[in-house]
Amino acid sequence: MNRLSYINKTFDVPTIRDEVEDIKSLFYKLYNEEVEELKSRFIASGEVEENFAPPQDPFEVEIKELLKDFRYRKAAFMHKLETEKEKNLKAKMEVIESIKNLINRQESLNETFNEFKALQQKFHEIGSIPQNKVRDVWDTYNLHIENFYNYVKINKELRDLDLKKNLVLKTELCEKAEALLDETAVVNSFKTLQKYHDRWREVGPVPKEKKDELWERFKAATTKINQKHQEYFEGLKDQLKENLKQKTDLCEKAEGIVKEEAHSPKEWEEKSKKLIELQQTWKTIGFAPKKDNNAIYERFRTACDKFFENKRVFFKSYKNEQQQHLVLKTQLCEKAEAMKDSTDWRKTTEEFIRIQKEWKQIGPVPRRQSDAVWHRFRTACDAFFDNKSKFFNKIDESQEENLKKKQALIEEIKGFHNLEDNEETFKMLQDYQRKFSEIGHVPFKEKDRVNQEFRSEINKHFDALNMDEYHKNVQKFRNRLENIKHSDHLDDKVSQERHKLLMKLKQLENDIIVWENNIGFFAKGKSSDSLIKDFQHKIENGKRNAKLLQEKIRMLDKLED
């Protein structure tokens, strides 16, 4: 006891856990031996073993308290340990996420690799995690370690590949720049060269040993093209004439666009785009000769003004159509709002679908009202369909509740035991049937199962009644009719059941006639007596079954009424 008390107060749980178990085992071994010795003495004194009760041992009381205290400490320790493991799990997942993101970093590969090694060390320094997470965490960690090493390898390969690709691209730019020296359109060559310079800057570095050589080649071609461009201005008069020619061409194209017919906003926008492109091209062309410059400008501006005037007239008319569309869509909004609270779900659903189709067929409305009218229409539609959804959800909830009630009633029947009084039992079983029928519908997918289960349980009790088979069968059929009454397509099922019973009755009546005729063929004698009795037995059973079938048909007819 002293040792257990001492270690419990002095050392932490993991250190003393095994020793505590050893002390406990040793104590109860000694304690049980003492109890057995006392029991033997008790029996030896002439007492009955069943009357033996060991005296209370104060040491057992003490050890129980000490063990209880240890269990509290152990539970607290385990809780703390699990909390620490959860923190470690979170920390390790954060390290894994950091490793995962390394492949998206923009700094140098050396910096990224150093950070990668630091993250690995950090991961291994974090303590243990919940056992059920160990495998997943290590799998995830190893996956992203492998991804990083693949990234390092690929990154170096991509760097080398990129330098080679840039070398090819800049070599092509040199060749293209040199090819411009053979072009006769000096202005275009000069402009193209500027694009090549832009592209040169975009391409990026090439292998170090080729850098200066390539730049000198490109610069040499640039110098020659610039020189040709300078010489061009000496022949500017020829260029002015060329500008006049280009502007005349633009005027003819603009006038052609004005003559083209357009019947929709899309066609007008396409024509507008073409004309704006002509205007942009116009701006890139220099002056025409002074004596022609104003005239060619007026010609181009007149064509443009005519186009935009025609466009304005079209869109004015188009806006009138949009206003008409707005009126039609507003009317549909009013219809939708008038129907949104309807509870005639089938008919109203069909009408909503119809007006939604009609909405789609109506053209666009003015842009500033488009969102508002659409929101109004959609709000009314949503209100109806939300109400419909809530209604049927409520039905579903009600049916789920009915299912619980019917299931509870079935459990009650399972626990019911038939009474000695047959009449009282019969009344109670009928009461169960009434309660089951009154509960109402259950979810369709559960209907057959729960009905079958109820019928099976109630029939067990009817079978156990001290009644003749006729009344038992009548009651079972009445039980079955209750299920038919609450099923879909009632008329069809009643008709099918009635037809089946009539066919059985007709066949049975024919069999009875045949059996009665057969008896007349047998002469009196010992050898024929047994056969005659057999046929008489068949006839009696047949008549009882015929009576039962007739009663079932009568019950079906009553159900139809």
- The alpha carbon of residue 513 and the mean position of all alpha carbons in its chain are separated, in whole angstroms, by 67
Query: What are the structural domain ranges in the chain?
Result: 2-99, 162-237, 394-488, 491-561
- pLDDT given at position 480: 73
The CA-atom distances, in angstroms, between 279 and each of 211, 273, 282 are 42, 10, 5
The first and second tokens of residue 483, run together, are 């299920």
Rounded to an integer, what distance in angstroms lies between the CA atom of residue 335 and that of residue 382? 14
Q: Decide: 180 and 189 in contact? Cβ < 8 Å.
A: yes
The CA-atom distances, in angstroms, between 298 and each of 237, 303, 306 are 22, 9, 12
Q: Decide: 340 and 384 in contact? Cβ < 8 Å.
A: yes
- The alpha carbon of residue 85 and the mean position of all alpha carbons in its chain are separated, in whole angstroms, by 33
Among candidate residues 544, 550, 546, 418, the one with its CA nearest the CA of residue 469? 544
Q: Decide: 292 and 341 in contact? Cβ < 8 Å.
A: no
Q: Decide: 207 and 167 in contact? Cβ < 8 Å.
A: yes
User: DSSP code of 55?
Assistant: P
- pLDDT given at position 407: 92
Q: Helix and strand tally (H, E) in the chain? A: 17, 0
Name the amino acid, one letter, at 384. F
Q: Decide: 65 and 111 in contact? Cβ < 8 Å.
A: no
- pLDDT given at position 107: 64
Q: Is 365 exposed, middle or buried (0-12, 13-18, 19+ CB in 10 A)?
A: buried
Rounded to an integer, what distance in angstroms lies between the CA atom of residue 189 and that of residue 195? 10
Q: How many residues does the chain have?
A: 561
Q: Decide: 436 and 389 in contact? Cβ < 8 Å.
A: no
The CA-atom distances, in angstroms, between 423 and each of 268, 455, 465, 466 are 92, 20, 9, 10
Residue 274's contacts (CB-CB under 8 Å, 6 or more residues apart) are 257
Angle (CA) 330 334 340, round 5°: 135
Place of tokens 């502007």: 247
Among candidate residues 538, 548, 561, the one with its CA nearest the CA of residue 501? 548
**Count of Cβ atoms closer than 10 Å to residue 411 Cβ:** 11
The first and second tokens of residue 508, run together, are 């049975």
Residue 170's contacts (CB-CB under 8 Å, 6 or more residues apart) are 200, 203, 206, 214, 218
The CA-atom distances, in angstroms, between 288 and each of 269, 283, 298, 518 are 30, 12, 13, 128
**Parts of the chain with a pLDDT under 70:** 1, 48, 106-108, 154-162, 202, 204-205, 234, 466-468, 472, 479, 482-483, 486-489, 522-527, 560-561
Determine what percent of the chain falls in helix, strand and coil, rounding each to the nearest 5: 85, 0, 15
Residue 143's contacts (CB-CB under 8 Å, 6 or more residues apart) are none
Rounded to an integer, what distance in angstroms lies between the CA atom of residue 199 and that of residue 220? 17
For the chain, the farthest-separated pair of C-alpha atoms sits apart, in whole angstroms, at 150
Among candidate residues 245, 251, 269, 248, the one with its CA nearest the CA of residue 305? 251
- pLDDT given at position 455: 83
